[in-house]
Amino acid sequence: MSAQLIKGKEVAASIYSELKPRIEALKKRRIVPGLAAVLVGDDPASATYVNSKIKACKKLGLYSEVVRRPQTLSQAELVEIVASLNRNEQIHGILVQSPLPKQIDELSVTLTILPEKDVDGFHPQNVGLMMIGRPCLLPCTPHGIIKLLEYHRIDPAGREVVVVGRSNIVGKPLAAMLMQKARMADATVTVSHSRSRNLSEITRRADILIAAVGRPKTITADMVKSGAVVIDVGVNRVDDSTTPKGYRLVGDVDFDKCLDKVSYISPVPGGVGPMTIAMLMSNTVEAAENIT
């Protein structure tokens, strides 16, 4: 058995096709959905992520701007930047790129963003609404994972889903979304992590296994049930002198060893990553529709 690849670019393209008529409808009302990204410091990975998001905005015809500030930016200065974007009627979505410098409290910044402009879905108000299954701006990566499953007609209802990782960005919100009494949910969800005992026994129960731990090849072939669906969220740099950059990107799953054992698997790169950006675009359009 050779697994079918879950390719994020293909699914993201379908999301963009669905967004285009909504964007045109807004433009007929003289509304251009706008996204502002705040980038603090000079972290290369953060700059790459922000550039990818801005490129997606341009492709869809969305307004975008990047606010760049040095690593020495103070908490008060960042809060004022966010407050000014809250007041800016051209901006419907605000994201502050992580990680932030040590002198800045990330939660305080998140709380400053208006919930209706919180296109990352991190504001506690949106998190609370998500937990009780009410409409809100959903976190991009978890929502993107669910869209991947939906596109491939992999219904989690009644299935055993194991999420490896408990971050506030992926693990926790994804588990909450999958256990809702709703379409593309109704799963039996187990959240495991670095302190879980007998992790292999837990992961081998999974009909759908989602790896989001941030460590290369944590999930090996012997940890996966035959025929399972595997979604790899991890993006890890490993040294590779044979490549021009001196490194390559790998996931949290030992992709090559699992490929012939599972039914579906997402590659790294090219799996979940494009969906995170696609859902950010979707949230920006939704925010523009809601605000106006």
Q: Which of 53, 147, 172, 225 is catalytic?
A: 53
Residues 6+ apart with CB under 8 A from 55: none
In the residue annotation, 53 being an active-site residue is answered as yes
For 212, how many CA atoms within 13 A lie in the half-sphere containing its CB? 25
26 with 33: CB under 8 angstroms?
A: yes
In the residue annotation, 97 being an active-site residue is answered as yes
Q: Which of 7, 97, 232, 254 is catalytic?
A: 97
- Spacing of C-alpha 232 from chain mean position: 12
In the residue annotation, 120 being an active-site residue is answered as yes
Question: How many other C-beta atoms lie within 10 A of the C-beta of residue 144?
Answer: 29
DSSP structural state of residue 137: P
Question: Concatenated DSSP letters for 159-211?
Answer: -EEEEE---TTTHHHHHHHHTSSSTT---EEEEE-TT-TTHHHHHTT-SEEEE
191 with 225: CB under 8 angstroms?
A: no
Cα angle for residues 137, 173, 219 (degrees, 5° grid):
135
Residues 6+ apart with CB under 8 A from 198: none
CA distance 96 to 78: 9
Q: Which of 7, 117, 120, 232 is catalytic?
A: 120
Catalytic residues: 53, 97, 120
